[in-house]
Amino acid sequence: MADEKHRLERRADRRGVERERIPTRVIDDPDALARDVAGRLAAIIRQRAAEGRRAVLGLATGSTPLGIYRELIRLHREEGLSFANVETFNLDEYYPMAPDSIHSYHRFMWEHLFSHVDIDAARVHLPRGDLARADVAAATQAYEAAIQAAGGIDIQLLGIGKTGHIGFNEPGSDLASRTRLVALDAITRKDAAADFFGEENVPREAITMGVGTILAAREIAIIATGEHKAGVVRRAVEGAIDPAVAATALQQHPATTFYLDAAAAAELTRLATPWVLGEVEWTVPLTLRAVAWLSQRTQKAILKLTPRDYADHHLGALLAKHGTAGEINGLVFRGLSARIRGRSKLPRGQRVLVFSPHPDDDVISMGGILHKLAQNENAIVVAYQTSGNIAVFDHDVRRHVDVLERLAAGGLIADDVNTLAQEVRAFLARKQPGEVDSPAVQAIKRMIRESEAVSGIETLGLTAASARFLNLPFYQTGKVRKDPIGPADVAIVRALLEEVKPTLVFAAGDLSDPHGTHRQCLEAVNRALAELFPGGTGAPEVWLYRGAWQEWPVTDATWLVPLSQEELRLKIQAIFKHQSQKDSAPFPGGHDDREFWQRVEARNKETAALLDRLGLAEYFAVEAYVVQGMAAPPGEGSRASSP
C-alpha cells in the first residue's frame, strides 16, 4: 500500500511539473532553502577554481537572498570556501543613490557579504547610482562590456517582485533589453516604501540589468518566499510568456530553477488543486479542501453537492471512493463544523501566553479570542516581542514632547524636561529620511507603542499587569532590516516561558509580514520551546494566528472562533487604541490602503460569510487559528477537544 501511495504521489507530481514551465523546488524550511541555493553557488565556485578560471556570479539584494549570503559566509569561515577567484555583478541600484547611503545596494552587499569573505574588491561590480545623468548610458554599456569580458555570468540570483519583475525590469520591459536606466513602477515603489520610511522618499528610477542580460547567464536561481508571492509565482511558472510579467521570460531559459517555500508555492496547481492533474491519494484533509473548493466553484452549499458536480470537476475518483455524494458531503460538513469553537468550548482557568511580534498584532489578529479568554478567567500574559518603535511617525514624537513641555510649564513635572525636548526637536529637524533615530527618539517611540498596547488589552478586559515588553535584541537596529534571531533573543523568550509555565501559547504564524519580523519572532518562540521541551514532550499547545494581511483558509484552520457584532466592535475599539498606527501607518503593508481595523473587519466578516456559503452555521465574524504541529484536523485522528 505504501509503494502504491508513493507511485500515485510521484505521478501527480510529474503531471504538476509538466504544467510548470520552469523547474521548481519547494523547500519549506527557509534555512534549508538558503543552504540549498548557497550550496549550488559554492559548487560552481569550487568547480571553476578546479578548472583554473574565475566563477562569475550575478547577485541580488533585498531580504530574499540574505539567508543565502549568511550561508556563504559560514561556508567561507568554517569550510574554507574561497572567493579569491570570484567575480560578481549585481543586478541593480536605485538612481540617484550615493554608494554610502543607508538605502544603497552597494552598502547592502558590502555589509551582508563582501566584507566577510576574501573577495578582491576590484572584481566586485555594481551599477553606480551616483553618476551624472549624462554619464549613465556610457556606464551601462561599460557594465555590459565588463560582463562579457569576464566570460559571462555563470549563475544569476534573482528574486521576484509583485508585478513579476526581475531586477527592476518592470511590466513592458523588452525581453531582449540590456543594462539601462528605468522608471520604477508605482507598485515597486510602494513595495520599497517601508525601507525608505515613506513612498515619497523612494527614488523614481533605477539602473538594472536587462531581461536579455539576465537570460544570457548560464544558470539562473530565482527565489520566492511568503504567501504574498504565491500569485505571481504561479503566473511566472504556469502562465504564458508575457512582457507584462518579466519573470515569464525565464521559461525560455534552459537552466532556470525556482526555489520556493511552501507559502510561495501554495497556488501552483500541483499543490492547490492536484486533483485536476490526475490521481491523488485522497486523505481526509485533501478531501475537505477539494469539497470546499467544489462548493465555491459551483456556488452550492456542501450538503447540496451532487454526483454530477463531482464528475464535472475532476472529482470522480473521490466520488467512487465514497460511493455517494451524500457520504462525502456529510464527512466534510461534520469535519468543518467540528472546528467551530465558541466561548464555551475555549480554555477556562488556564495559563495563557500570547506572543505579539509588534505592539498591536495581538488585538489586530486575535482580539476576539483574547476577550473570550479573559471572560473565561484564564491567567493571560501578553508578551510584545519587539518595540515596534520604527513604525512611529516623527510627528507623533513631537506631539508627545509638546505634552511634556506643557506639563513642565504648568509645574506638574520637573522643568528639566525642556533639555530633552530641545535635544529631540533638534535631532528631528536635521534628520534625513531613513536615518536611524537618536537613542532618545527611539526610546520615546518605544514608550508610545507600549502605552498604546496597554490601553488596547485593557479594552479587552485585561490589565496593565498582563503586558510584558521583551524588546528582543534582534529588532534593535533602528533600521527596517533586522538582525537574525540569536541566542540572546531565544534566552529572553525561554525565560518568560519558564516563568509563566503556560498550558497554551499563541504566536504569529503568518509568513507574509513584509518586514520579516513575524517570521523571526515565531523562530524565537519555536527555538525556545525546543530547548525547554526536547522532542516536544510536555510542551504547551501552540495556536498560530495570522496578521493583518491574510487569514487561515477555513480548510487549513484547526479552530474557527465566532465573534458577535458586539465582540467585533470591541476588537476594533482595541485596535483604535494604537493611535500611532491609525489613519496612516508608517508600514501599512502590501498594497492595501485601508486602515488595519478596516482590513480586520473585512477579513473576519469574510471568513464568516464563507462558512455561510459552504452551508455551515451563520456567524457575524470569525477568527481562524492553526494548532502548530497538529498532524490532522479535529475529528480526523488528532486531539479533537480544546486544551
Count other C-beta atoms under 10 Å from residue 495's C-beta.
Answer: 12
Q: Are 255 and 22 in contact (CB under 8 A)?
A: no
Q: Give SS3 for 553.
A: coil
Q: Which residue has the cell 526610546?
A: 443
Q: Which residue has the cell 519583475?
A: 165
The alpha carbon of residue 477 and the mean position of all alpha carbons in its chain are separated, in whole angstroms, by: 19
Instruction: List helix spans (H) across 265-375.
Output: 269-272, 284-298, 307-312, 316-322, 325-337, 361-375
Q: At what angle do helices 565-576 and 596-613 cross, to 10 degrees?
A: 160
The span from the CA of 453 to the CA of 466, in Å, is: 11
Instruction: Identify which of 6, 11, 40 has the alpha carbon closest to the alpha carbon of residue 25.
Output: 40
Which residues lie below 8 Å from residue 137, measured CB to CB, with a gap of 6+? 181
Q: Are 329 and 305 in contact (CB under 8 A)?
A: yes
Q: Are 184 and 204 in contact (CB under 8 A)?
A: yes
Grid coordinates in use for 524?
Answer: 524565537
Count other C-beta atoms under 10 Å from residue 570's C-beta.
Answer: 18
Q: Is the peptide bond before 96 cis (omega within 30 degrees of 0)?
A: yes
Q: At what angle do helices 66-79 and 30-50 cross, to 10 degrees?
A: 50
Q: Are 43 and 50 in contact (CB under 8 A)?
A: no
Q: At what angle do helices 439-459 and 417-430 cross, to 10 degrees?
A: 110
Work out the widest C-alpha separation in the chain, in whole angstroms. Answer: 82
The span from the CA of 290 to the CA of 273, in Å, is: 7
Q: Is the dihedral of CA 39, 41, 46, 51 positive or negative?
A: positive
The span from the CA of 631 to the CA of 635, in Å, is: 11
- Strand 92-95 and strand 205-208: pairing? antiparallel
170 counts as catalytic: yes
Kindly name the residue from 20, 93, 170, 227 that is annotated as catalytic: 170
The span from the CA of 240 to the CA of 578, in Å, is: 45
Tell me, letter by letter, the H, E, C secondary structure of 561-620.
EEECHHHHHHHHHHHHCCHHHCCCCCCCCCCCCCCHHHHHHHHHHHHHHHHHHCCCCCCC
Q: Are 638 and 628 in contact (CB under 8 A)?
A: no
Q: At what angle do helices 394-409 and 417-430 cross, to 10 degrees?
A: 160
The span from the CA of 233 to the CA of 20, in Å, is: 10
First to last CA, the chain: 35
Facing residues of 381 across strands? 353
The span from the CA of 388 to the CA of 500, in Å, is: 23
The alpha carbon of residue 218 and the mean position of all alpha carbons in its chain are separated, in whole angstroms, by: 30
Amino acid code (one letter) for 344? S
Instruction: Identify which of 355, 353, 358, 354 has the alpha carbon closest to the alpha carbon of residue 386.
Output: 358
Which residues are identified as catalytic?
A: 170
